[in-house]
Structure 1
């Protein structure tokens, strides 16, 4: 069962949602989780259009952090630390490209590692994750080959891949992040509680005829050796 996880590195509610989706992935390993880009502020021009100036973004967004921190199961946001920083609020572009590049040369788990590393750097460590130096430091903490990643990050096809995700956002009609799309037809919108995510996925799996756990037994029973109460019992 395919699960498309739409998120942005600067999205405060994506931080707790990613934490929960990791638990979902661990509980239901048969799910195919694909990470997709969602840009809240691709470049500073988008911030200016939305907020009137780039300088106006941080005070407004820090208020969002307070709500997201309440939503977060671990309440990890360092809000006071962010207030003390003097850099303008990061844009989405470089962080989304960084995570996409990781996924393109490795796999979705590596994408996730870079994505979560960038969010940790912003929301807990209060670092400017649009700064390439900061991004590179985050990438170097993962298992990815840095030189290969850097080549892919600079490759125009990486930005094109991000733009294709954004086109998918528009095609699906997704209005906000985080968002989960299952089998290209079911939408789970927002940072839902863990139990709601799991109940919804289980309901969809039942409707789709997808077995989330274990194996479907085919054919009839036949002679076999089994371990019962610590002893071999053979038919």
Structure 2
């Protein structure tokens, strides 16, 4: 049986990614999956947020309405702190600083560190209503995972890290990825349909049969 390699395209600010990540963690262990994490930033700056959503108030309202849908499909709906983000005293954050942090963690410790950083940032964003576009907040979270603050900060600001994020973006364009989360089985080119764990499990079994 061939080991499946899966590209997991995600953005820290994505509520559907928040639902999918723990499911994929369980399935990665169950099926011995090789997960390749790909940052895919939906909006990379305040200017891009304004271009996409108009005013900060409109961005917050529209995105939190979207969170309601994500919460209704979640295994852990209690972790969606919609009221906390509604009351937050900062504009709804873009995802670039968080993406840089994920690639920094990957450079330091490989894919597992990327995944740990991604999950920690998502929890800070969605459950704790923290501003993950704030560099100091991101550094605090990195330290909470055991990273050295100075070394992590240096790598976070290294132009090579920004190039790593852009490389993921170029790779996404080549694979015709337009939304997150997206799961692509490298072995077959098939795309998994996001959904409950049992649905994902069935799709993985089908993919394994194709590679047997």
TM-score tier after normalising by the smaller chain length: over 0.9
Corresponding residue for residue 14 of structure 1: 17
- 1:100 Cα deviation from its structure 2 partner: 0.6
After superposition, what is the alpha-carbon deviation per residue over 1:38-97, rounded to whole angstroms, capped at 9, x for unaligned? Answer: 111111222222112334211110001111111110111011111111210001110000
Corresponding residue for residue 39 of structure 2: 37
1:188 aligns with 2:192: yes
Check whether the contact 1:106–1:144 (CA below 8 A) recurs between aligned residues.
no
Check whether the contact 2:45–2:94 (CA below 8 A) recurs between aligned residues.
yes
Query: Cα RMSD between the aligned structures?
Result: 1.3
- 1:181 Cα deviation from its structure 2 partner: 0.9
Moved over 4 A (4+): none
Distance across 2 between alignment mates of 1:25 and 1:42: 29
Distance across 2 between alignment mates of 1:143 and 1:32: 24
Secondary structure, counterpart of 2:42 in structure 1:
coil
Which has a greater percent of helix? 2
After superposition, what is the alpha-carbon deviation per residue over 1:170-200, rounded to whole angstroms, capped at 9, x for unaligned? Answer: 11111211111111611124x3111111111
Distance across 2 between alignment mates of 1:138 and 1:72: 24
1:129 aligns with 2:126: no
Check whether the contact 2:139–2:152 (CA below 8 A) recurs between aligned residues.
no
1:72 aligns with 2:67: no
Check whether the contact 1:129–1:135 (CA below 8 A) recurs between aligned residues.
yes
Bigger RCO of structures 1 and 2 (CA < 8 A, at least 6 apart): 2
Structure number with bigger Rg: 1
Corresponding residue for residue 50 of structure 2: 48
Corresponding residue for residue 213 of structure 1: none
Distance across 2 between alignment mates of 1:122 and 1:202: 33
Check whether the contact 1:105–1:148 (CA below 8 A) recurs between aligned residues.
no
Distance across 1 between alignment mates of 2:101 and 2:154: 11
Corresponding residue for residue 100 of structure 2: 97
1:156 aligns with 2:164: no
Per the normalisation by structure 1, the TM-score is: 0.84
1:81 aligns with 2:87: no
- 1:143 Cα deviation from its structure 2 partner: 3.1
The gaps in structure 2 that reach 5 residues or longer are: none
Check whether the contact 1:38–1:165 (CA below 8 A) recurs between aligned residues.
yes
Per the normalisation by structure 2, the TM-score is: 0.93
